[in-house]
Amino acid sequence: MAKPGEKKITMREIADDIGVSVVTVSKALSGKDGVSSRLRERIMKRAVEMGYPRASAVENYVQSHSVGVLVADRYFSENSFYFNLYRSLLAEASAKDLLLVLEIVSPQDEREHATPQTVKNGRVNGIIFLGEMELGYINNVISAGLPYVFLDFYIYGLNADSILSDNTYGTYTLTNLLFNTGHQRIAFVGSIRSTSSIMDRFLGYCRSMAMHGCDLRRDWVIDDRDEDGILFDSIPIPDELPDAFVCNCDVTTGLLIMSLKAKGLNVPEDISVVGYDDHGASNMYLPSFTTYRVNAEAMAEAAVIRIVNRIQGLQKNCEKTVIAGTIIERQAYG
């Protein structure tokens, strides 16, 4: 803020600093239409930093329209499912004039249950947890009393709003597809205790195996990440090979294809694979593979609506909302 005797900041200076017109700055600061939510947030934050005279009003506007998005660093690479899900969140938030404040949580902060800056500085009035994190960290965040929504996970025993993909049914139908094409010896790839989503996808695989009278083999339930949730560089291949693999996500499917090739095995000539997500990774590997497409746009829309309703006091009961997806058939199984 400008001190007594100092030159006051004008809208022209803010506009020149950001590289937009004065009209755009005026619309952003007054809350008028014609400015995207992302640009409005940028202008308002810069106005506060530069000491614009109505900075307190700007700060109040930013806070009343802001939601923090927390995601673990291990989930958030440029080609990850959560990066694409966050883009869908941005589109939905922009349509509803909601400002999203992304905070990528470091392994140390998650491990030490650190309070995120988005909560500590009081600049948001709601939280979307994008992907499952350490329970102690989550409990610390929600103890601040802000409305919150879990996106793509839930926590057993905690009464909270959760928006989920249809995980169990998705892998159930994928495994059925393999059975219907003549496969009988089917493995699952995914660290089942890592997240609720992976566990539920494993349960869908188990249901299909049971329906077809096949016993589970422990050596055919294969981990794809370590105890901290970090994906392995390659997938361990069992000594006795199955006919096919059901993978918990597309990135793991790609890693599996490369690991099989390193063993001299070709997909789908020697062995079949299917994935889960269809956020783009299924087309990054050869051959492209059949997968279960998550409806990220519908999940993002549901999450934004739910957090807005929570903030406005319109949502009374906590709900777990399951969003259906669809199988996308490509290559990689025969």
| Tens digits of residue pLDDT in 137-177 | 999 999 999 999 999 999 999 999 999 999 999 999 999 99
pTM for the structure as a whole: 0.79
The domain spans of the chain are 1-46, 65-165+296-324, 167-294
DSSP string, 4-19: TTSPPP-HHHHHHHHT
Strands (DSSP E) found in the chain? 66-72, 99-105, 127-130, 148-151, 162-165, 186-189, 221-222, 244-247, 272-277, 291-293, 320-323, 326-328
pLDDT at 53: 66
Q: Which class would CATH give 1-46? A: mainly alpha
Mean pLDDT of 244-248: 97
Mean pLDDT of 3-18: 76
Integer Cα distance of 253 and 276 in angstroms: 8
| Tens digits of residue pLDDT in 50-102 | 877 665 555 555 555 789 999 999 998 877 899 999 999 999 998 887 889 99
Q: Which class would CATH give 65-165+296-324? A: alpha beta
DSSP string, 242-300: -SEEEESSHHHHHHHHHHHHHTT--TTTT-EEEEEE-SSGGGTSSS-B-EEE--HHHHH
CA atoms within 13 A on the CB side of 309: 14
**220 — phi, psi (to 5°)?**
-105, 15
pLDDT at 283: 58
**42 — phi, psi (to 5°)?**
-60, -45
Q: Is 318 helix (H, G, I), strand (E, B) or coil?
A: coil
Integer Cα distance of 186 and 333 in angstroms: 12
Query: What tokens does 325 get?
Result: 């997806």
Integer Cα distance of 56 and 48 in angstroms: 8
| Closest among 66, 8, 64, 7 to 42, alpha carbons compared | 66
Integer Cα distance of 307 and 271 in angstroms: 44
**Regarding the domain delimited by 167-294, which CATH topology (the fold level of the hierarchy) does it fall under?**
Rossmann fold (3.40.50)
Domains 65-165+296-324 and 167-294 share a fold: yes
Q: Which of 50-59, 77-86, 259-268, 304-313 has the lowest mean pLDDT?
A: 50-59
Residue type, 230: I
Q: What is the bridge-based pairing of β-strands 320-323 and 162-165?
A: parallel
| Closest among 265, 231, 270 to 248, alpha carbons compared | 231
Cβ within 8 Å of residue 328, ≥6 positions away? 278, 282, 290, 291, 292, 293
Query: What tokens does 19 get?
Result: 């590289």
